[in-house]
Structure 1
């Protein structure tokens, strides 16, 4: 995330993890240097090194949804760090319950866990002095949530939206129309300048996707 560390209230670093190259986000409050990992799916030594490199003290773990590459190692990491887990929405409880089985299938370590706080639409989470808004965005999974920091025009959206694509909806309890509705009703109103970190692949912004995304551009949905 390119911003001036002297003036920006928040900074973020992307650390791809697991064989599925999931974008784990380390985000932190520049005033307090306290931070959170969003979706620490695995490769914990890489994540520890990233926090150390940036001088960030981790105070919590945030989860967008219950898929193995996003939260397989979250419970283990939270215990090690002595920090709480917040998210996703409780509708993804069944995904988190099957993390061990899914881990065997995908060759990723997976451990079921109970978040310290399930999130719902309209909740807020804090990281240092930052406050992020929570949006429930079902479709890819029924309990998927998105985290948005309005002041930074920054969102971490998990597998709801990608540069040039959208999340798969062929998993159990996925729903294509729900996903489209989530993007249009929850993400677009956050503003075109909002830069987002998707669960995989390069960053983009909402204006670019509204112009060019073959699934959810204004012309595709017209």
Structure 2
């Protein structure tokens, strides 16, 4: 298993391409913008894109979905509770501040515990509502890696003041799920740098405040 991070768009969102080194089957996580950058990497490495996996529907995580889907005719995955937001520009905030409205109908709606596979790479869905009702993290099966979207960052948590955000849901996600992750888990968030859960437990004050 290999993966690469790309920092894309005005809000410097993290997009990840994860793939099986043997079959070259790949998944693209949160292609937020700069489709040509992502497509160039895919083509250079002869990857076979099997799917696009979205941790949530906000525009800074979905801007390059249409171009990649058109090129590779692959399925778009999102949690079932974020499906409406993905296809509604007024909800995903692609109207106004973005260069064009984005309206995408997902091919596959997933739930907590579902698995998404490309070759030997398996992502397990962890439903972590709070940033949106359908926000999810993606655990790489048999690896100490979790892609966390905008649920949790190295030293912060995702905002809950946008449409579909909920402080109550965020607290439950952190207390009941994220706080249970072992220290050696490495989180790869939707913005900023990766970190171990050991680091998060020492430095992330918002995370710690919800555990009191």
TM-score (norm 1): 0.88
Secondary structure at 2:174 match in 1: helix
Tell me: CA distance 1:108–1:144, structure 2 relative to 1, closer, same or farther (3 Å): farther
1:91 Cα offset (Å): 1.6
1:33 Cα offset (Å): 1.5
1:220 Cα offset (Å): 6.1
Q: Indicate yes or no: 2:143 matched with 1:148.
A: no
Q: Could you tell me whether the CA contact under 8 Å between 1:34 and 1:127 is conserved in 2?
A: yes
Decide which moves more: 72-81 or 194-203: 72-81
Secondary structure at 2:94 match in 1: helix
Q: Indicate yes or no: 2:98 matched with 1:97.
A: no
- Aligned partner of 1:7 in structure 2 is none
C-alpha offsets along residues 93-124 of structure 1, whole Å, 9 cap, x if unaligned? 33213237832322244421111111101111
Secondary structure at 2:109 match in 1: coil
Moved runs in structure 1, 4+ residues, more than 3 A? Answer: none
Alignment map for 1:117-196 (pairs within 5 Å): 117-196=108-187
Q: Could you tell me whether the CA contact under 8 Å between 2:23 and 2:119 is conserved in 1?
A: yes
TM-score (norm 2): 0.92
Q: Could you tell me whether the CA contact under 8 Å between 1:72 and 1:109 is conserved in 2?
A: no
Tell me: CA distance 1:191–1:110, structure 2 relative to 1, closer, same or farther (3 Å): farther
- In structure 2, the gaps of 5 or more residues are none
- In structure 1, the gaps of 5 or more residues are 1-9
